[in-house]
Amino acid sequence: MIPAAFALTGATQQGHDVAQVPVGVTLLFTALLMAMILCLALEEKLHAKKSVIVGLFAVVTLLLGAAFDLLPFGSVLVGGHEIDLPVYVPAIDWNVIAIILGSSLFVDVTSRSGLFTWIAITLTKTSAGDPLKLLVYYGVMTVVFSAVLNNVTAMIIVGSLTGVSLNRLARSNLLLGFLIIEGLLTNVGGLLTLISSVPNIIVGTAAGISFIRFFVVAGPFVLVATLVTLWLGARVFNVRRLVTPEEREQAARLVAGFDERDGIESQAFFWFGTAMLIAFIAVIATTSVLPLIQDLGMGYVAITFGVIMLLRFKAIADKFYQAIDWDLLGFFAALFVVINVMEHALVLELIGKGLAHVIGLGDTLGAGLIVVLGATVSSVTDNIPLAAMLAKILSAHPVIGSDPDSPFWWAVVFGANLGGNLTPIGSASTLVAVTIIHKYELTLSFAGFVKRALPFAAVQILLAVAYIVLFV
């Protein structure tokens, strides 16, 4: 996924003929890719960060790529001028990096306004302490937060407030069910917009899907999947409405103790944060049609809004820099390098040949199968390498690559996101949900999570297959 501003011009001058890559070399790099995915799946057992794991593989693949004369060392076209840059610089999709960095800064600073806490407490008071209403409100809030923030941030905010709410309402027996449902809904909400999750950003950028188009296509599925998940969750975890007047009166009395102004340090900053959040979403949504901005891209928009919010706390800006997930950014940068080397080693071409058989099954069976396969793989390892690899392969397809409306793009997006609901290691947000569950001293093993989550994930994946086959 080389940015449009960069173009390799030295590949034919000093590089290699890709047709001459030996099969053994391709298989070697295929083994390295599989080893990297396995290491990511065993991240906790290895006690190593994602950036370290993928960074190590990036170093190894670059060295081997140079040793086997696979890499196109030569001039790089930047803004119409040829300059010499290390091969790994243009290999990184800097637009994706900018979106993640800018959005993270913006969300971190905006959260200081107390806006997100205000929304959560307001919804809790609106429910009047009714468990079923509270489940619906928190579920919808989880989806919305996951759509406009990121899944991990959404889970942290909603999960923390859920614990406080249920404890105050003397409903701690429902906490396990609430947190599991919210964890599952983060990945559903992560499908709603182009910036809701990293796989969305990667696939949407590769396919050329606009923000509005992404929302229009994904929105109906997210609505249905959310309603089905909440309905099933209420039945599985026995979340019911308050029946007797005594129950309703007691709950209303407890809810009255909530103060939505908690966390609001400054009314001025609260309203400023509210206005900026609305503006951020509006500009991101219309980036593809705005003069000048459309050429600069969403990365520019995210960085700009992040800088604007930082100006509010410029005296303590270093605290927000420290809060940035540099591990995540390093992980992405290294991942793009690995994927780029794999492309030159013809690993993607090899996978693409296998994928071609699936694509050859047609838009119906082929796309449906990719959803299932993508979800299965994403359940045991990070969905980002999967999305990056499949996006690269589909981009090279003579038909799909030029068709942003192809169901295969959406199959990758749905599979990569929903697969995180099958296991607690399938996504960062479900892992956060389990962490919060353990924080409240509730028992939930790996197998226990799978047992409880599997019915939800299976229904969501089947709905995704049906939706793509029938409506996309």
- In order, the DSSP letters of 332-385 are HHHHHHHHHHHHHTTHHHHHHHHHHHHHTTHHHHHHHHHHHHHHHHHTTS-HHH
Average pLDDT over residues 166-185: 90
Query: Which tokens in the block code for residue 43?
Result: 């991240």
> One-letter amino acid identity for 148?
V
Cβ-based neighbour number of residue 71 at 10 Å: 26
Residue 342 lies in a domain: no
Q: Which one-letter DSSP state was computed for residue 161?
A: H
Of the two residues 5 and 220, the one the predictor is more confident about is 220
32 assigned to some structural domain: no
Alpha helix positions (H), 127-210: 131-148, 151-168, 175-189, 198-207
CB 395 within 8 A of CB 209: no
pLDDT of residue 381: 65
Whether the pLDDT of residue 6 is over 50: the answer is no
Helix (H, G, I), strand (E, B) or coil at 7: strand
| Domain span holding position 142 | 115-263+360-472
The answer as to whether 330 is a domain residue is no
Q: Rounded mean pLDDT of 83-93?
A: 75
Structure tokens at 325: 């997930």
Taking only the tens place, the pLDDT of each residue in 323-363 is: 677 877 888 788 888 888 888 888 877 876 777 788 888 88
Does a structural domain hold residue 140? yes
What confidence tier does 382 reach under pLDDT thresholds 50, 70, 90?
low
| Residues 153, 107 contacting (CB under 8 angstroms) | yes
**194 pLDDT tier (thresholds 50, 70, 90):** confident
Judged against a pLDDT cut of 60, whether residue 16 lies above it is answered with no
Does a structural domain hold residue 95?
A: no
pLDDT, residue 13, reads 35
Q: What are phi and psi of 238, to 5 degrees?
A: 55, 50
Task: Flag whether 104 is in a domain.
Answer: no
Asked if the structure places residue 403 within a domain, the reply is: yes
Average pLDDT of the chain to the nearest whole number: 83
Closest CA to 155 of 145, 140, 167, 166: 145
Contact 160, 344 (CB under 8 A): no
User: Whose CA is closest to 378, among 415, 334, 336?
Assistant: 415
* pLDDT surpasses 50 at 9: no
- What is the pLDDT at residue 452? 94
| Burial annotation 382-414 (CB, 10 A radius, 16+ → b, else e) | bbbbbbbbbbbbbbebeebbeebebbbbbbbbb
Q: Regarding predicted confidence, which is higher, 386 or 185?
A: 185
Number of folded domains in the chain? 1
- Per-residue buried b or exposed e for 343-374, using 16+ beta carbons within 10 Å of the residue's own CB: bbbbbbbbbbeebeebbeeebeebbbbbbbbb
Phi, psi for 161 (deg, rounded to 5): -70, -35
Tens of pLDDT, residues 238-275: 999 888 888 888 888 888 777 778 778 888 889 988 89
Q: Is residue 224 assigned to a domain? A: yes
